[in-house]
Structure 1
């Protein structure tokens, strides 16, 4: 399996959807942001624009999942940075950043099968294996580094980030909040994850 590039990157999970609010498994189903999610995307955009206004250049380009809940979140971030600083960052998508396919589980309440899916002893019917998700997440992040001159901002999904956590050697099954920017930095011993506080 391809190894994850040991270069810093930023990650942003999409804003909330109605299925998130109802604790339903979303997977590849293309659910839009709800009003809360749109507000979360706005807030994340302003948090990241604050960094640019302080003279930092935390990332040079944005690469998003093409699913609308992620791509719209990415657009809000890009627009906030442009409005506040005049910097219009390149925004592209990568199909390999899409959320895992949960097959027949999509649209159903999240159950206690998640850990067994991660350890490979269960795969939902018509769903995607965790190792497959991890492999394509690594490939997409490595490609994202090549799309710009500095660190990328990845805008994607919760299960996909679990795949990246596995690639970073971190505890895997940790829930990432909606639309809270996170910086991932490699160190000699392990990766360091830092979330921006609201």
Structure 2
């Protein structure tokens, strides 16, 4: 279960592997120049928001994105290991030829990878650790990790969150009985 607290979520900027359609997982691929530019553009979008804390994945592509965003936010930045992308084992560095959908459906797990259920459990724990900080919190992490949020919301996970897309989430209230999600920007 996801804690009912307002939060923002941003997927890291582009990497060379993103540009080639390669699955990254735990493989620590850095941002490329396009990814850095995306992060700086996203930073301008969030300038002046009331974000109190940034929680980031320790993988370089997400952490660098978080550090760029924090140049305008100037808030506490916390690294949480549970915010890492899913581990895809021996399929990291490969193009998705259909195996990723089978993994998401729980029908296939690459050698050395997390199962979908293991990942969802870890990701939900990481998101809850993040949004339990002084907020609103901005989570800087990965497309797969955002898939776990969509899974929780019951939203189809067929479309990947674009690099540096920023989503604002507001928990249910007396007026709105379900979570509200608004995309602040989409790169």
TM-score category of the 2 structures, normalised to the smaller one: over 0.9
C-alpha contact 1:169 1:190 (8 A) present in aligned 2: no
| TM-score, length basis structure 2 | 0.93
Within 5 Å, give how 1:1-198 maps onto structure 2: 3-49=1-47, 52=48, 56-57=49-50, 59-81=51-73, 88-148=74-134, 150-187=135-172, 188-197=176-185
**Structure 1 residue 181: deviation in Å?**
1.1
Residue deviations 1:60-118, cap 9 Å, x none?
1000000000000000000023xxxxxx2000110000010111111111221122111
**Structure 1 residue 132: deviation in Å?**
1.3
Q: How much is the aligned-residue C-alpha RMSD, in angstroms?
A: 1.3
In the comparison of the two structures, how many residue pairs are matched? 183
SS at match of 2:108: coil
SS at match of 1:196: strand
Unmatched 5+ stretches in structure 2: none
SS at match of 1:75: helix
SS at match of 1:32: coil
Structure 2 CA distance for aligned equivalents of residues 35 and 147 of structure 1: 31
C-alpha contact 2:42 2:185 (8 A) present in aligned 1: no
Residue deviations 1:37-62, cap 9 Å, x none?
0100111111101xx1xxx41x2100
| TM-score, length basis structure 1 | 0.88
